[in-house]
A and B are shown apart, each in its own frame.
Chain A
Amino acid sequence: MAEPAVQEKQASSHEAVLEKISRFYRMGGNEVRALDEVSVSFARGSFWAILGASGSGKSTLLNLLGCLDRPSAGRYLLRGADVSQMDDDQLSEIRLRSIGFIFQSFNLLPQSTVAENIALPLYYQGWDPARSSQRARELATRVGLQERLDHRPMELSGGQQQRVAIARALANDPAILLADEPTGNLDSATSREIMQLLSELNEQGKTIIMVTHEEDIAAFASRRLYLKDGRIDRIEP
């Protein structure tokens, strides 16, 4: 009788739980094991960095966590819900409601303004235009771009573009913020600013999982997961 209650409590204190998650790619005849039975729990409000050599499976892991991809085997619980067996529409819904994604190459719509880019998730959530542009303005202010609402991404610096992407990722008030090398295209000073912003968001309670190559960027995170050939090498601390 006590055991389920404990499990329940454990599940609720974890934002995301991976149980023996594998992801295989079939390349012609042979099979690439991008992830091989990875099990790890990400606590609510934690800040993780995922490190490892190129090709070790970092992006694959992050895409799975972001419901952009489905595991070949294993179970993925997001806030207690098993998302590993969901269909495309259900995964879209999860991404829309619970995930905020930040990419290395920003992935902004080049022809849309800053405000339109930030409000994009709200459009798919069905917000009315007045409310969503109000929210876009608040989020732009949060990342320090309140003066740039009507600019196009091309008119902004790399760091500013990444701030727009962060504001967009925050628009749906996600459970987890996922970032795949968010500073990969930025110089070190700008990288520091972006990391400062992410740290603040984490202090305000956001769970953040970030892929990076660089130890000094990883130092901003409270925990570090090292991948090697699709398996967990070690977790620090």
Chain B
Amino acid sequence: MKGPNPRKFLLVLTPTPLSALSGIALLVLILLAVFAPWVSPYPYDVQNLSIANQAPSALHWFGTDDFGRDVLSRVIFGARTSLSVSLISISLSLFGGVIIGAFCGYLGGWVDRLGMSIVDLTWFFPEILLALLIVAILGPGSESTIIAIAIAYLAQFTRLTRTQIITLKRQTFVEASLSMGAGPLHIMMRRLLPNAIAPVIVVAMLSTGNAILLEATLGFFGMGAQPPIPSWGGMMSTGSSQLFNAPWVIVWPGIFVALSVIFINLFGDGILRALDVKARMRTQ
């Protein structure tokens, strides 16, 4: 079987100018994060108390914090933490959710009821509360943040996958495969998952934005990446004590959190719309 047609893939990626621009902005952000050691003007952890809390200037575009560290460099390195933590946690969550959801949806019956009631335990709590709870149990740090975020979003992916699988299971083409003599593995891997996965992935993209927010919140509470590793949430937390005499310390990471969330949403939105167009083309 062939993969998706490359031309169609491009079509999906550039549905509207706005989402294309957001996609480019996101790409720049990711590149900045990846190449942080080369693009950032200063190391993120070198302290110089003599220049503490300086306003933005030609030397330090975003200013310096109360240890005299360059805020721009820390924002760029912070992007590494924020993006990697949220991407890894959403990937984990997606992976787990798809597997549990697919099993529950496909098998139905008591497997479904058991699986869903376990997953639904996490559905009752607001994501932030759940994440705080888990980090409180596991102790602060990047790894616990990743696990906490992954669990917080698990129910969402499980439910979505499960509904997708249940709807697809009733489609005639699945019955057609069965009638040819297909086994459960073929049905799941060839018919159900490939058709179910697209909307789940789009939701995962959109959730990455929320995960960045969640990561920042945990960092703000001092539960995320531990100093001196910079994270946007952590920077905002330390910046909050200097809110009035050095507002730039808190504002810049805040802007980056907001921008990345907006870009991710715009981009995801565009993709959703493109998928929708494709779906309409099919049902015509």
Q: Are A and B interaction partners?
A: no
**Chain A interface residues toward B at CB < 8 A:** none
Could you tell me which B residues sit within 8 Å of A by CB distance?
Answer: none
